[in-house]
Amino acid sequence: MITPEYVRLMTAYTRWQTGSIYAAADTLTDEARKQDRGAFFGSIHATLNHLLWGDQLWMHRLAGTPAPRSPDIPGSVRQFDDWETLKAERRRMDDAMLAWSKRVTEADLDGTFSWFSGAIQADVARPRRALVIQLFNHGTHHRGQVHAMLTAAGAKPEDTDIPFMNSPDYPWPG
């Protein structure tokens, strides 16, 4: 299924794409970032808050990093109202994810993880590897939504294709 190398690639990709969408969002006003654009979480700002929350939650579960401020999905969109604070928290999360990716081993990906899901109000147990995939898949999904909202607002995020990633966090093998 997945390997530590996959984790390192996807963490570098996450960091690269996060940098791209935050740089593009920086070209908009705060009002434009918070404008309801009809997306699932409404605005660019709210979706980025939720995305950070999701990464914080999964990294808390998988790597023991601090839990998100909000205990639930409805509150996830309001964790950080201030743009500069949201950006700083995102950078901290990306740094934590990068550090984790550098030390993750096969053993860290083995086994099952159990938790109580507030989303479905039930106890859940799933393979750790599947949950790591969820961490990255959730991020890709919501960054895609933000990318579309940014483009519609006239901002210009970078390309999103993994083969075109040029990141010091992931020196391509070979």
Residue 11: CATH number of its domain: 1.20.120.450
pTM score: 0.95
Whole-angstrom Cα distance, residue 141 to residue 147? Answer: 10
Domain of 54 in residue numbering reads as 4-102+113-156
Q: How many angstroms separate the Cα of 148 from the Cα of each of 100, 120, 151?
A: 29, 28, 5
The residues near 47 (Cβ < 8 Å, ≥ 6 apart) are 39, 40, 41, 77, 142, 145, 146, 149
Q: How confident is the model at residue 1 (pLDDT cuts 50, 70, 90)?
A: confident
Total number of domains in the chain: 1
68-125, pLDDT tens digit by residue? 999 999 999 999 999 999 999 999 999 999 999 999 999 999 999 999 988 898 999 9
Nearest in space to 154 (alpha carbons), one of 34, 42, 27 = 27
